[in-house]
Amino acid sequence: MANVLLKVENLTKYFPIRAGMLARKVGDVKAVNDISFEVYEGETLGIVGESGCGKSTTGRVIMRLHEPTSGKVTFDGVELTALSSEEMRKVRRDIQMVFQDPYASLNPRHTVEKILEEPLIVHGIGSAEERRRKVIEYLEVVGLSAYHAKRYPHQFSGGQRQRIGIARALMTNPKLIIADEPVSALDVSIQAQVLNLMQKLQEDLKLTYIFIAHDLGVVRHISDRVAVMYLGSMVELAASEDLYAEPLHPYSQALLSAVPIPDPNYEREQVILTGDIPSPSNPPTGCAFHTRCPMAMEVCKQQVPQFRQVKPGHSVACHLYNDR
Partner 1 sequence: MSEIASKTSINLAQEDQVVGPWKEAWRSFRKNKSALVGTAIVIFFVLLAILGPFIAPQGINDQNLSQRLLPPSSEFWFGTDDLGRDIFSRILHGARISLTVGFFAVVISAAAGSFLGIIAGYYGKWIDTIISRIFDIMLAFPSILLAIAVVSILGPSLRNALIAIAIINIPNFGRLIRSRVLSIKEEEYIHAAKAIGMKNARILWRHILPNSMTPVIVQGTLAIATAIIEAAALGFLGLGAEAPQPEWGKMLADARIFLLNAPWAMIFPGLAIMLTVVGFNLMGDGLRDALDPKMKS
Measure the CA–CA gap between 151 and 149, rounded to whole angstroms.
Answer: 6
Question: What does 19-39 look like in DSSP terms, one character per residue?
Answer: ETTTTEEEEEEEEEEEEEEEE
Write out the binding residues for partner 1, residues 172-191 only, by CB under 8 A: 172
In the complex with partner 1, which residue's Cβ is closer, 49 or 59?
59
Facing residues of 39 across strands?
Answer: 6
Task: Work out the angle at residue 82's Cα, subtended by the Cα atoms of residues 182 and 90, and round it to the nearest 5 degrees.
Answer: 55
What radius of gyration, in Å, describes the C-alpha atoms of the chain?
A: 21
CB of 39 to partner 1, least distance (A): 17
Here's the x/- map for partner 1, 109-148, by CB under 8 A: it reads as: x-x------xx--xx-----------------------x-
Pairing label, strands 308-311, 4-19: unpaired
With binding defined as CB under 8 A, does residue 72 bind partner 1?
Answer: no
Q: Which stretch binds partner 1 (CB under 8 A): 2-10, 94-102, 220-228, 250-258?
A: 94-102
With binding defined as CB under 8 A, does residue 92 bind partner 1?
Answer: yes
What number of CA atoms fall less than 13 Å from residue 42's CA on the CB side?
Answer: 6
CB of 122 to partner 1, least distance (A): 5
CB 198 within 8 A of CB 141: no
Measure the CA–CA gap between 106 and 254, rounded to whole angstroms.
Answer: 36
Measure the CA–CA gap between 8 and 6, rounded to whole angstroms.
Answer: 7
Instruction: Among 90, 206, 301, 308, indicate the residue that binds partner 1 (CB under 8 A).
Output: 90
Measure the CA–CA gap between 241 and 25, rounded to whole angstroms.
Answer: 44
CB of 109 to partner 1, least distance (A): 5
| Residues binding partner 1: number (CB under 8 A) | 32
CB of 48 to partner 1, least distance (A): 21
With binding defined as CB under 8 A, does residue 20 bind partner 1?
Answer: no
Query: Residue 208: phi, psi to the nearest 5?
Result: -115, 135
Q: Which residues, including other chains, have CB under 8 Å from residue 242's CB and lie 6 or more apart?
A: 311, 313, 314
CB of 305 to partner 1, least distance (A): 33
Q: Which stretch binds partner 1 (CB under 8 A): 75-83, 84-92, 136-144, 211-219?
A: 84-92
CB of 154 to partner 1, least distance (A): 8
With binding defined as CB under 8 A, does residue 157 bind partner 1?
Answer: no
In the complex with partner 1, which residue's Cβ is closer, 131 or 168?
168
Instruction: Among 96, 223, 233, 240, indicate the residue that binds partner 1 (CB under 8 A).
Output: 96
With binding defined as CB under 8 A, does residue 25 bind partner 1?
Answer: no
With binding defined as CB under 8 A, does residue 89 bind partner 1?
Answer: yes
Instruction: Among 97, 176, 254, 277, indicate the residue that binds partner 1 (CB under 8 A).
Output: 97
With binding defined as CB under 8 A, does residue 50 bind partner 1?
Answer: no
Measure the CA–CA gap between 267 and 217, rounded to whole angstroms.
Answer: 19
Q: Which residues, including other chains, have CB under 8 Å from residue 132's CB and lie 6 or more apart?
A: 113, 117
Q: Which residues, including other chains, have CB under 8 Å from residue 291's CB and lie 6 or more apart?
A: 275, 278, 284
With binding defined as CB under 8 A, does residue 225 bind partner 1?
Answer: no
Q: Which residues bind partner 1 (CB under 8 A)?
A: 60, 63, 65, 89-93, 96-97, 99-101, 104-109, 111, 118-119, 122-123, 147, 150-152, 155, 165, 168, 172
